[in-house]
Amino acid sequence: MGMFARAGAMVGALGLVASLALTGCGAEQKKAEFVGATAPATSTSPGPAVESGSPAAPSGPPLTVSPADGAKNRPVSAEISAVLPGGAKVSAVTLATASGSRVEGRLRADGSSWVPSKPLKYGTRYTATVSATGADGSTSQGTSSFTTMAKPRSMISSGLYLFDDRTYGVAMPVVTEFHPGIPKKDRAAVQRRMFVQTDPPQPGAWHWVANGTQAYYRAPEYWKPGTTLTVRIALAGIPLSNGRHGNVDRSATAKIGRAFEMQVDNATKKMTVYEDGQVVRTVPVSLGKKKTPSSSGTMVVMEKMESTVFDTRDDPDPANRYVTEIDFAQRLTWGGEYIHAAPWSEGQQGRVNVSHGCVNVSTANARWLFGKTKIGDPITIKGTERKLAPGNGWTAWSQSWSEFVKGSAVPVPEGGETPTF
């Protein structure tokens, strides 16, 4: 997608998740879809702002600035850095076009580089000036003029499942998607351009699915209710080893709502519903029968449809083919598992499993749940014959924290990273 979509828009299924071949009672075994986000009025970038006023006259050796002076064909994702004398810290960075237009930006939290707040323009000449102050009070300065590359023809498509001004459940991961997938050797560089800020601050980490088509960001525990998530996936122009470049930057600022959690135990055929830590309802359920079991694991609500049609006439097993109108459907997996009203199984709910993999509940309970849940609310199912497959839905919570951080492309400090803008 070449431009930001309006909040709530869903843009073409691009087939990012390999065919899962998983049983589900849903309308289709849906593949992931790219989702855009409305760009905020003010772009964000990592780390504290750096003063851009007139520095004192340099008294130390000149700085070597990157990109190098005279460099051409630099990517529009270029960051500004400099080789600093021992103990020196950056005191000012300016970046401007030949016409004098200034580019806003901020230092990374570790001070390693200065990141423009939005992609640079293609085919444009820029001049960067970096000033630094040493521990002894001496000042150094360096200047570089460079030119960005023309817009590349081969780009990688990206998506962000988060929208401005939306409120999500406490298990909502930050979900990014790529088509084609990011090569393994490029993931660290891409991950360093994916910024997440939480308010109040909470540690977190990224995890890549095996084929590189998705990456999830989550905290060690569910988000604190009331958290603000500010996300910038700053991939426009980033070069990859397969000759492609990132297509756009995507940004979103969203809220986390109250704590709402559903826990389903196959042994009792019951769902226990918690709100802010208190049990608010116990719901009889019917899960997938042995031939088409429900997935065990922690999933999140990804999509809600008050009314839809499940059409499984393309299922290879004739016994699983049907067309049925469904009310109060809430998608849990790409493979077609939902929570939904099933008036035809109300007699079996709480006693025996008869579904094709979905969580069947009564119409009254389905209506009640539909009115309470948000996208990103978690549901944990345990005790079934099948384990939730990684990537079959937003599976960020299907692993322990210690296992989750192993999927990061860069080392994760104990307890998680605490990135700042």
The H-or-E segment that residue 367 falls in is: helix 363-372
Q: Does 25 participate in catalysis according to the annotation? A: no
Which candidate in 207, 245, 340, 356 is catalytic?
340
Residues 56-88 as b/e (b if ≥16 CB within 10 A, e otherwise) read eeeebeebebbbeeeeeebbbbbbbbbebeeeb
Query: Distances from the Cα of 386 to the Cαs of 117, 290, 293, 306, 389, in angstroms?
Result: 45, 9, 6, 28, 9
Look-up of token digits 């699983």? 320
Q: Using CA atoms, how far apart are residues 166 and 138, in angstroms rounded to an integer?
A: 48
Q: Using CA atoms, how far apart are residues 77 and 113, in angstroms rounded to an integer?
A: 12
Cβ neighbours of 385 (radius 10 Å): 16
Query: What type of residue sits at position 39?
Result: A
Active-site residue numbers?
340, 358
